[in-house]
Amino acid sequence: MASLDFIADHTHAAPGHNAGETTSGPPASEAGGILTVDLAALVANWRALGRRAMPSECAGVIKANAYGCGIEQVATALARAGCKTFFVADLSEARRVREVAPEAAIYVLNGLIPGTPQVYAELRARPVIGSMVELAEWDAFVAATQWRGGAALHVDTGMNRLGISATDAAALAPRIRSENHGITLLMSHLACAEATSHPLNDLQIRLFREVRMLYRGIPSSLANSSGIFLSDNAHCDVVRPGVALYGANPTPGRPNPMRPVIGLKARVVQVRNVNKGDTVGYSAGWTVRRAARIAIVSVGYADGYLRASGSSDETPGGFALAGGKRCPIAGRVSMDLMAIDVTDAPPLKRGEFVTLIGDELGLDEVATAAGTIAYELLTALGHRYHRVYRVE
Ligand SMILES: *Cc1c(COP(=O)(O)O)cnc(C)c1O
C-alpha cells in the first residue's frame, strides 16, 4: 500500500533509482519537499572526527532518530564503516539500532527507567547510569542475574543534568574496581564545548581527569563534537560526536571542517504576481514594496521548517535559493506552505524546486536565521519529505 510509505521510515531499495541511493517516504513525483541525506559524507565526517581524535575510538551519537536523519540508515552506514559504539537516548532507539547493528555496543544516555534492566539485557544495550538510585537498581539486577552486558557510569563534572557527583564517583571507585559491576565506560559531558574560552571547559576536563585516575582500566569518554576540537585533553578513550556527523559546524566562528550531509528542496506549487502595497500571508505582516513575483512552496512548519524563519516588514527572515539566487521568505511560514520572493530569480515553473538547505545555504546559517541551532533544525526535519539516502 503506497500510503504506508508515508510512515515507513525504513530504507528500501527504490526500483528505477540510482544504484547509489535508497529512498523512503512518498515518491518524489508526489512529495512537497525532497530531503537528501548524504550518508557517504556522513561517513567521511565520522572518519575525519576519528582521525582528529586519534588514538581514541570514535563512537556515533544517533539519538533523536539520528538527529532527524534516520536512525536505521545512519546506524547501518556507520556500522559498515567500522563504528563499534553508538549512543542513543532511549530504549526504543536502542531497539532500532540493534536491528541493524547486531554487534555494536549501544549506550542509552537517558539512563535506567525503573523496572527496565531486563529489557537492557534482552537488547544487549547498556544503560548510562546517571544517579545513585539507578546504580543501586542496576547492581541488584547484575548481582541477581550475573548479567555482564555492560553499563556506563555518568559522572557530573559541572553540567548539572545527569550523572553522579564526582565525590560519589570517588567514593565508589574502589568498590567498582574490585567487584565486577560490569561498568564498561566512565563518562561525563561538557556543558560549553563550543565556547572554546569558557572557563567551565578546563574545570570539567580537570575534574574528569581526577575521577578517571580512580577508575584506571575502565575506558573513559568526555568529548562531544565540539569537545573533539576543544583540546586533546578532552579526548580520553572514546569520543562521542553527534551534530558534526550531520554536517553542523562544531567550531562556531571558524570555518566548518565538516562536509554537508543534508539537502532540502521545496516544490513550487505556483508563482503569482503581487502588486506594490499588497501584503503576503497570515497577519498581513509583509508588505510588497515593488511589483513582485512570489513562489508558493509546499514546505511549512509542519515539515520542521521553523516558523521563526518567517519575515515581516520589521524583521528579516530566512532565504531560499532559486536558480542560484538568494530569495527572501515573504511573510509568515504557514503549516504546509510558505512564500518566497523570487522577483530577482530566473523564471521558475510550477513543479520545480527551490533550495531551503544546501549549496550556499548551510545548515548553520538556516538555523541562525530561525533564531536557533542546527541541532533543533535537524531534529525537527519533517516526515512528509521524499527522502533520498546517498550511499556513495
Ligand atoms: C547529545 C550528546 C552528545 C553529542 O553531542 P553533539 O554536541 O551533538 O556532538 C554526546 N554526549 C551526550 C551525553 C549527549 O547527550
For the stretch 260-288, pLDDT in tens is 999 999 999 999 999 999 999 999 999 99
Residue 375 annotated as catalytic: no
CB of 242 sitting under 6 A from ligand 1: yes
Torsion of CA 228, 229, 230, 236, to 10 degrees: 30
Convert the pLDDT of each residue in 191-207 to its tens digit. Answer: 999 999 999 999 999 99
Question: Distance from CA of residue 32 to its chain's centroid?
Answer: 23
pLDDT value for 392: 78
Average pLDDT over residues 77-83: 98
199 cis-preceded (ω within 30 degrees of 0): no
C-alpha cell at 348: 521558475
Distance (Å) from CA 227 to ligand 1 centroid? 10
d(CA 307, CA 332) in angstroms, rounded, equals: 7
Question: In this structure, are residues 233 and 220 in contact, taking their beta carbons and an 8 Å threshold?
Answer: no
Question: In this structure, are residues 246 and 259 in contact, taking their beta carbons and an 8 Å threshold?
Answer: no
pLDDT value for 1: 33
Exactly one of 63, 67, 107, 389 is catalytic; name it. Answer: 63
Which amino acid would we find at residue 128? V
pLDDT band of residue 7 (cuts 50, 70, 90) is very low
CB of 240 sitting under 6 A from ligand 1: yes
Convert the pLDDT of each residue in 313-327 to its tens digit. Answer: 999 999 999 999 999
User: Which residue among 109, 159, 229 is best mutated to probe the pocket of ligand 1, counting the most ligand atoms within 8 A of its Cβ?
Assistant: 109
CB of 61 sitting under 6 A from ligand 1: yes
C-alpha cell at 380: 525537527
* All domains of the chain in start order, with CATH: 39-246 (3.20.20.10), 262-390 (2.40.37.10)
Distance (Å) from CA 369 to ligand 1 centroid? 23
What count of other Cβ atoms lies within 10 Å of the Cβ of residue 22?
22
Q: Which residues contact 54 (CB under 8 A, 6 or more apart)?
A: none
Residue 63 annotated as catalytic: yes
CB of 154 sitting under 6 A from ligand 1: no
CB of 310 sitting under 6 A from ligand 1: no
CB of 65 sitting under 6 A from ligand 1: no
Average pLDDT over residues 201-229: 97
- Is 211 strand, coil or helix? helix
Atom 3 (ligand 1) nearest CA? 224
Give 358's DSSP letter: B
Question: Distance from CA of residue 193 to its chain's centroid?
Answer: 16
pLDDT value for 176: 83
Mean pLDDT of the chain: 94
Exactly one of 67, 120, 282, 325 is catalytic; name it. Answer: 282
Phi, psi angles (nearest 5°) of residue 188: -145, 175
Atom 6 (ligand 1) nearest CA? 242
CB of 219 sitting under 6 A from ligand 1: no
Convert the pLDDT of each residue in 82-121 to its tens digit. Answer: 999 999 999 999 999 999 999 999 999 999 999 999 999 9
